[in-house]
Structure 1
Amino acid sequence: MNRLKLVLPTPKYKEKIMDYKREFIENGDSMDGTAGLRDAETFEEWYSAFCYNLKEETVRAGLVPATTYMAISTNDGGLIGMIDIRHHLNEYLLKFGGHIGYSIRKSERQKGYATEMLGLSLKECAKLNIRKVLITCDKNNVASAKTIINNNGKLENEIAEGKGITQRYWITLD
């Protein structure tokens, strides 16, 4: 496909990232895989946290090291989605969060981007020596389940979380 490329955030993408945040807030959507972008007051605050979370030595308390990528259109340079790869799992992530979280902006959904973005992130997981990748989604999120299955995800089980049910999928990398 090659419609997307994964790019690490830098200050030169500030406007695109803040526009991404605005679109999600306006639509009342969940911003998964954005390293806490919704809660950051400013780009600079978010970017600083993103940088700290890259390494075990500087990751914020209670979190695991993670790398957040932007999925950029190879056609026009637009920010299509964001995806977060957690380098290892803590107890909560093992049950409910998994190694990868992602989101696609509403204006770009149902175009196959999530499947492509997840495929690209699995290559990054291999570089991090993560050979067995856990990805979760809400049972009601059929689109996300299809994205995971399209990338060879195998459903292990479902776990009740509050009023919802989390599906846990594993993808084994060669």
Structure 2
Amino acid sequence: MEGENRLELVRPDERWAAEVWDYKAEFEARGDHLDGTADLGAAADFSHWLSDLRADDSPNTVRPGRVPADTFLAVRRSDRRLVGMVNIRHTLNDYLFQFGGHIGYSVRSSERRKGYAKEMLALALDKCKGLKLDHVLVTCDSENEASARTIRANGGVLENRVPEGEGFTDRYWIEVGV
């Protein structure tokens, strides 16, 4: 793995429309889940998705049933390629407390196994400091060993495993240290 600092987190805007839609298409072609993308998989088009993101970034405009959150594109510095996405929730509702956590993320399949998820999570944890979160919950499917390694590499401590659907969700806490 190359050194850290290969990625930066940027806010999506209209300039990223084609790259975001390509990201979505890559996940859909493989039947993968678009975790940490603020429901990109359900979006009919980029402009509506972006509008929803912007609504959700403030407690005054957040959509019903959602919590305030920031969504970022993880962009490789060397070539400006969109390699992943991160969603940082400012607070937790009951569902997020049990299953979703403060941070969700995904890496496109063509860029996996390169250490990007670990770097993305570290960058997201830095953003959490600005939100005055001293510890954050990060979860993963209990069968997803790669995600569990990513979380542990960033200081995650397993609290418990909870049943969800036909499987289990592992709940990790990470001390951020504001």
Task: Give TM-score, length-normalised by structure 2.
Answer: 0.97
* Sequence identity (%): 51
- Deviation for aligned residue 1:162: 1.5
Task: Give ranges in structure 1 of 5+ residues lacking alignment.
Answer: none
Task: Give ranges in structure 2 of 5+ residues lacking alignment.
Answer: none
Deviations 1:70-129, CA, capped at 9 Å, x for gaps: 000011000000000000001111011000000000000000000000000000000110
* 1:52 alignment partner in structure 2: 55
* Mapped partners of 2:111, 2:43: distance in 1: 23
* 1:95 alignment partner in structure 2: 98
* Mapped partners of 1:7, 1:89: distance in 2: 23
* Mapped partners of 1:133, 1:99: distance in 2: 6
* Mapped partners of 2:99, 2:8: distance in 1: 27
- Deviation for aligned residue 1:167: 0.2
* 2:145 alignment partner in structure 1: 142
* Mapped partners of 1:19, 1:150: distance in 2: 29
Deviations 1:1-58, CA, capped at 9 Å, x for gaps: 1100000001001010000001000011000000111101000110110100001111
Quick one: which of 28, 34, 37 aligns to 1:34? 37
- Deviation for aligned residue 1:173: 1.4
- Aligned residue for 2:83, secondary structure, equals strand
Quick one: which of 75, 79, 101 aligns to 1:76? 79
Is 1:152–2:143 an aligned residue pair?
A: no
- Aligned residue for 1:59, secondary structure, equals coil
Task: Give TM-score, length-normalised by structure 1.
Answer: 0.99
* 2:112 alignment partner in structure 1: 109
Query: How many matched pairs?
Result: 174
* Mapped partners of 2:41, 2:164: distance in 1: 22
* 1:14 alignment partner in structure 2: 17
Deviations 1:112-166, CA, capped at 9 Å, x for gaps: 0000000000000001101110000000000000000000000000001121100
Q: CA RMSD in A?
A: 0.5
